[in-house]
Structures are given as C-alpha cells and as structure tokens.
Amino acid sequence: MNRTEFIVVTAIILFVAFMLGWFASWLIHRVTRVTQSDMGELDQMAQALHDAEEIRDQAITYQQQREAELTNQLTQTDAELRAAMEGLREARQEAEELRGYIERQSQHSA
C-alpha cells in the first residue's frame, strides 16, 4: 500500500466515523426531544402538584386548629369533672355529718 492509498483509506474511515457520529447524535436528539405537548403535560402536572400541596397545607392547618380546639375542650371538661367530683365529695361528707348529727339527736331524745 502506497502513501496515496493509505491517505484515501484513512479519509474513508474518518468519513464513515463522522457519519456514524452524526447519525448517533441525530438519533439521540430525535429520541430525547421534548415536544410542545410534553411541555404542556409537564405544566399541568406541576400545577396539579402545586394545588395538591396547597390542599395538604390547608388540611394540616385545619387539623392543627381542630386538635387545639379539642385539647382545649378536653382540658375544660377535665376541670369541670374535677370540680364536680370535689363537690360530690363535699356533699357526701356533709351528708355523713348530717346523718351523724341526726343519729346523735335521736339517741339523746330516746
């Protein structure tokens, strides 16, 4: 193989390599290209995600408010129960004292 043949074969090999690279680049670009409809779909998905996050935040806020209300109501109910139990305890003690007094009075008069 002389020098001219070597140059021609090298040029052909380089041209084929260039064509394969160009074809691979075109194929990758064609496969990974984002169409306008894909962009619209991505925008819709982003909007739906944003709406879902807002709804979630509202639900969390509502749940926290409701929990605070219920905790407050439970605290008030517990305080009322304690007051009622204390009143009942005092009423029982007073009833026992009155029974004792009545028994003493009945024993003295008999």
Residue whose entry in the numeric block shows the structure tokens 């979630």: 56
Gap between the Cα atoms of 87 and 84, Å rounded: 5
93 membership: H or E segment, kind and range: helix 36-109
Q: What does pTM read for this prediction?
A: 0.53
- Give pLDDT, residue 110: 62
The one-digit pLDDT tens for each residue of the chain (110 residues) are: 799 999 999 999 999 999 999 999 999 988 887 777 778 888 999 999 999 999 999 999 999 999 999 999 999 999 999 999 999 999 999 999 999 999 988 888 76
Which are the contacts of 1, defined by CB distance < 8 A and separation ≥ 6? 9
DSSP 110: -
Length of the chain: 110
